[in-house]
Amino acid sequence: NAGVTQTPKFQVLKTGQSMTLQCAQDMNHNSMYWYRQDPGMGLRLIYYSASEGTTDKGEVPNGYNVSRLNKREFSLRLESAAPSQTSVYFCASSHNTAGDGTQYFGPGTRLLVL
Amino acid sequence: AQRVTQPEKLLSVFKGAPVELKCNYSYSGSPELFWYVQYSRQRLQLLLRHISRESIKGFTADLNKGETSFHLKKPFAQEEDSAMYYCAPRLPSGNTPLVFGKGTRLSVIA
């Protein structure tokens, strides 16, 4: 099993460009998450999907949209990238949000917005 | 409002010395608490959860409800313990995502 996979691994964007970060999991998990990791700020939740067909805002949702395409896939879209969105983005999944607290993380996508 | 605090951004200790990474939370009730770790060039992963009362890689963490703390401890640090550590409470309702602290980078010096 690959676990949680993310594409791309690295991306450079110009301000105003759009892009979609892809995430997939093969563990049959119900819940999926998108975080951003910034120095000194830790991991902050952007959006999550408790189950297929539902999405909810996290701590820092502004400037992002998400789509839970199916049970396996959860994408994060930046419609108009800004330099403040330069970060490392992590996708994660878990059996449920109310489970044992084990979240499985992807390898991350490093995004640079110029 | 800050719900979880990890006061040290960086903690450096010598190999063989005891280590304590601090975590304080400000939830009412009884949150569930977890420690996650990210080693260099590896994915973030669960280290331990308080409900299991387990010791993983020599680390333990005791929930102190009076002090609202969940400090991570190890009696003798090893070089391979160098990593980023995140404390992560979950709200008492249980059916919500984890909230991660800002993290503490542990550096074990040989």
pLDDT given for residue A31 in this prediction: 93
| A105/B44 Cβ within 8 A | yes
Q: How close B62 gets to chain A, by Cα (Å)?
A: 17
pLDDT given for residue B64 in this prediction: 86
Which residues of chain A are at the B interface, by a Cβ-Cβ cutoff of 8 Å?
Answer: 4, 31, 33, 35, 40-45, 48, 50, 58-59, 90, 92, 97-98, 100-108
Contact B73, B86 (CB under 8 A): no
Question: Which of B81, B100, B70 has the alpha carbon at shortest distance from B13?
Answer: B81
| A98/B94 Cβ within 8 A | yes
| Closest B-chain CA to A35 | B100
Does residue B29 sit at the A interface (CB-CB below 8 Å)?
A: no
Looking at the predicted structure, is the pLDDT value of residue A72 above 80? yes
Tokens of B16: 């063989």
pLDDT given for residue B94 in this prediction: 59
pLDDT given for residue A40 in this prediction: 85
Sorting pLDDT into bands at 50, 70 and 90, what band is B26? confident
pLDDT given for residue B92 in this prediction: 64
User: How far, in whole angstroms, is CA B47 from its chain's centroid?
Assistant: 8
Sorting pLDDT into bands at 50, 70 and 90, what band is B2? low
pLDDT tens-digit map of A19-56: 999 999 999 999 999 999 998 888 999 999 999 999 99
> Mean per-residue pLDDT for B89-99?
75
> Mean per-residue pLDDT for A94-103?
81
What order do you get walking across the sheet with B32-38 strand by strand? B10-14, B104-109, B83-90, B32-38, B45-49
